Chain A
Amino acid sequence: MSTSSIDDKDITRELWQSRLPICFILSDEDMSKVNRSESPEPLYLMLSRHSYFPCIIEKIFRYYSTYYKGNLNDQTNSINLNNLWLEYESIPLKWHYPIGLLYDLYTSSLSSSSSVSHLPWQIIVHLSKFPENELIRFPDIESIEAHYMTTLKEADALKHKGQIIGDMQKRDHKQLWNSLLQDKYEAFWNINIKLMSYTDNLQYFRYIPFRIYILDKPFMQKLFSPYDIEQNKWMTLYDLLQYTLNHEVQCEKLANEKKILNNNIENYRVIIHGVQPPLHSPIQWLSEYFSYPDNFLHICLIENQMR
């Protein structure tokens, strides 16, 4: 093979510079309530994969509120920020997933063709009829920041028993989130590099923080060590998947689930960050350099459709 002098930094930089073209279209029923003679044009935005939708919800609402000038003061009207929700092909999009994850999860599985034809990702903006049963309301920035910090602490708890995140100061936490919001690569990785260090004289994380997403199922999260001490070898992605699926099947069998998960990895496409990494990639490396900014590996398993 070609001796790749690829630095890990190149990969993280490429990851950081990820963008998705998203097209926000107003829903039809909301379109009818527009107060102006012109109907709003769709809103196109290039959003980074590791960002969250609540970060730009203000922008979306400001864009569409101009068309509802008169209606906003009407109390009976349900046009307001709290009622804004996003939908893709009749699926209400969850706020607390990173955008990249949502895209990978929903666009890849729903169409048989390659993901290319799905761009720009067309999301429908609803300004009314909030689906109370399916979504939680937390559209503002502070709540999504709290969610991010929680996820980060959970990841560090898995990796270092929470020591490193606990030793960090609050301003470092703030810096992580702010650099995520303002798209500052250097500022983010200055702090994040500390979270990728080792403790307890280990050369690896204690456990790998990961979640595996399969459509229509809640995500799977298991304790998995990146290094097998007995076998004295580094675990790969394949090992992780295998272990997780098997463990899940066992849990389902114990719970007498009717539909048992297909634990054959061959049937799935493994997508992280929109790419399918080789299955033999060491999981430790993946966790260090291929995690999302919340230090989790969000892995999507897309069932291969019957061609």
Chain B
Amino acid sequence: MEWKQKIFNQLQERNRQERDVYAEIVKHYNRLTENYSTILVRCTDQERDILTLRQENTDLQKNSVSVAGLPVNDKIKTLENDYMKAKDEILTLLRERGDMTKEVISLSRLVKERDEKLYSEQNRNQILTKENVSLRQRLESAEDQLSALKKVNETIHDEFQALQLAYTQLEERQKELDATIAVLRQRMTEKIEKKCNALDEEVKLHEKRMEEDVKRKLEEAKSDFMTSTLSNLMTSTTASITHLRNANQDGKSNGSVFKKNLDDCGDNELHAIQFHPSGSLIATGGSDRKIHIWELNAHNNQVQQVYVLTGNNSTVTAIDFDNENANLILGCSEDFACRVWGLGDQRLRHTLTGHGAKVFCAKFVTATLIASGSQDRTLKLWDLQNRQCVRTLFAGSKCHDLVAHDASGSLISGHFDKKIRFWDARNDSTKCELQLQAAVTSLSINREKQLLLACSRDDTLKLIELRENRVIQTFSHDDFKVASDTIKAVLSPDCAYACAGGNDGSVFIWNTTNGKIEKVLNKEHSHDDFKVASDTIKAVLSPDCAYACAGGNDGSVFIWNTTNGKIEKVLNKEHSSIVNAVAWHPEGRFIASCEKQRRAILWGE
């Protein structure tokens, strides 16, 4: 294959000639041209820069030509001057800047202060607006209330006017009615007077007959005894016996009742009523602060107000007559004092002050010794000759009632703290104390001073034997309930019976010997009508224990027959309100009852 070799050799030769010889040269040549072109570019740029610089140069030269007149030194000097001036300007400007910053600081501070003030003002303003809003709201509500109230007022006013008209009309009617009542009353009094006169005449006739009988008998007796000195006594005892007999006879035979109205006993409630031991005087005391004395004329059964004892500053709670001489009257009142008047001269003799609270009860121990018990938990003994408090007994509890044991000043008192205290006359201590189950409301002692009846709040009455100071009997009943702290229970004068009023309107009578309930006076009228109304209701037995009497709250006085327990009489239609107290005439002929509405009525049998 030498042709191949030939070809190959030729190729190699060719390549050598054509390529190898020129390759390097062409490469380097190309590089050179590239460099040359870049250099050209740079050169052109630089030429451009040179041109611009030359231009600037020429410009500067032109500028400097104008200044070129001055020599160089002067130029320097001017430059220096300019420089100094510039420096000075700079300094001044800096100083000014310092001042300005100071001003800025101060102003900013001011601004801050103002802002704070403004802020506080705004806060205050907010608060005030809030208050304003709230006040406005209140105002609105107040106005609403006011308008409502005005409306109400108007309606009330209208109603008032209407009522006023009605009232005037009623007043007129009342006046008319009063007039008619007065007229009727006058007629009635006339008729009653006529009747009384008639009765009086009958009685007088009867008395005359009785006198003639007595005279006959006396003459017979006279013929027996032949004494003339007794005649006077006889007459007086006769008078009393006559009274008694008359009373008995009157009471048994004469069923009719006469009454006397003790009008104008006081302004309001009557709390105490008491007979004079002689039986001719009645004393009443009430919330009008006066004690009225009424004289009972036994012969013609007239009652007149004799006089009025004043001096109390408050309601009279209890009255007592002295038993010995019968010319002193004792009244104790809620003005913390007791007063003694003389009956003959109606003069206030003594005022016994010293208690710290209402005086509930007072009793004559002797004619010169008075015992009083009050709400201030003390008992005081007063000596009337010295006019001072002799002794003060500290009881420790309100004294509701007391009785005088003997003339030396020993007392028995019943208290709120369930105790009955026996006081010794010589010293201030309690001789004895009896404990009961409940508060003691009242004490009642019999004439022989042996038995004590205590009424207590546990709805029982206790009979205490005073020699041994112990409870011998207890009276109770299922229906008997004690209404208040001052309910009074009474022993009958012969101590056969004990009587008290209960709060359901019945009067209970117990037998003291066997302790059993003797009678409960609640049949017929009493259950519905008889009501023990308040704490000063008193129930009393008649001195001969034939009758029990109590006042009810509807103004009626109820009299029960103790033997059969039935209502004997109901004395009503005279009192218009609650009957507070009832008292029997010692001889038993009359009943006095006082009511809450200033009226006392004397009833005769």
Contact = CB atoms under 8 A, between A and B. Distances in A.
Given A6-B4, A275-B7, A280-B3, A44 B18 contact: no
B5 A2 contact: yes
Interface in B1-55: 1-8, 10-15, 17-19, 21-23, 25-27, 29-30, 33, 36-37, 40
A1 B8 CA distance: 14
Contacts of B19: 17-21, 46
A120 B6 contact: no
B3 A278 contact: yes
Interface in A36-69: 38, 41, 43-46, 66
A116 interface: yes
B11 A120 contact: no
B18 A119 contact: yes
A197 interface: no
A196 interface: no
B3 to A, nearest CB: 4
A10 interface: yes
B18 A21 contact: yes
Given A1-B5, A38-B40, A21 B15 contact: no
B18 A20 contact: yes
B421 to A, nearest CB: 147
B1 A277 contact: no
Interface in A260-300: 273-278, 280-282, 285, 290
Given A17-B15, A21-B18, A4 B29 contact: no
A44 B22 CA distance: 10
Given A21-B26, A46-B26, A119 B17 contact: yes
B499 to A, nearest CB: 152
A19 B5 contact: no
A216 interface: no
25 contacts: A1-B2, A2-B5, A4-B1, A4-B4, A4-B5, A6-B1, A11-B7, A11-B8, A11-B11, A14-B11, A19-B22, A21-B26, A41-B36, A44-B29, A46-B19, A46-B23, A119-B22, A274-B14, A274-B18, A275-B10, A276-B10, A277-B10, A281-B4, A281-B7, A285-B4
A15 B10 contact: no
A290 B7 contact: yes
Nearest to A17: B15
Nearest to A116: B17
Closest 4 CB pairs of A and B: A21-B22, A275-B10, A19-B19, A278-B3
Nearest to A14: B11
Given A41-B36, A46-B23, A18 B17 contact: no
Contacts of B29: 44
Interface of A: 1-2, 4, 6, 10-11, 14-15, 17-21, 38, 41, 43-46, 66, 116, 119-120, 273-278, 280-282, 285, 290
Contacts of A20: 18-19
Nearest to A19: B19
Nearest to A285: B4
A142 to B, nearest CB: 27
B1 A275 contact: no
A121 to B, nearest CB: 9
A41 B33 contact: yes
Given A4-B4, A119-B22, 11 more contacts: A1-B2, A6-B4, A14-B11, A14-B15, A17-B15, A20-B18, A44-B25, A46-B22, A66-B37, A275-B14, A278-B3
A37 to B, nearest CB: 9
Nearest to B22: A21
Select the residue from A43, A275, A277 with max chain B CB neighbours within 10 A. A275
Nearest to A3: B1
Nearest to B33: A41
Contacts of A4: 1-2, 4-5, 8
Contacts of A43: 33
Nearest to A1: B2
B17 A281 contact: no
A171 to B, nearest CB: 31
Nearest to A15: B11
Contacts of A280: 3
Nearest to B23: A46
Contact of B8 (A6, A19, A120): A6
A282 B33 CA distance: 46
B43 to A, nearest CB: 10
B429 to A, nearest CB: 149
The winner among B7, B12, B14, B15 for most chain A CB atoms within 10 A is B7
Contacts of B8: 4, 6, 10-11, 14
Contacts of B22: 19, 21, 46, 119-120
Contacts of B15: 14, 17-19
Nearest to B30: A44
Given A41-B33, A44-B29, A18 B18 contact: yes
A4 B1 CA distance: 7
Contacts of B30: 44-45
Nearest to A277: B7
A155 B590 CA distance: 182
A277 B21 CA distance: 23
A38 B47 CA distance: 14
A253 to B, nearest CB: 33
A44 B25 CA distance: 9
A281 B3 contact: yes
B161 to A, nearest CB: 122
A77 B162 CA distance: 132
B332 to A, nearest CB: 150
B3 A44 contact: no
A44 to B, nearest CB: 4
B411 to A, nearest CB: 153
A270 to B, nearest CB: 12
Contacts of A38: 40
B1 A19 contact: no
A18 B23 CA distance: 11
A6 B5 contact: yes
A285 B26 CA distance: 34
A280 B18 CA distance: 26
Contacts of A66: 37
Contacts of A14: 8, 11-12, 15
Contacts of B23: 19, 21, 46
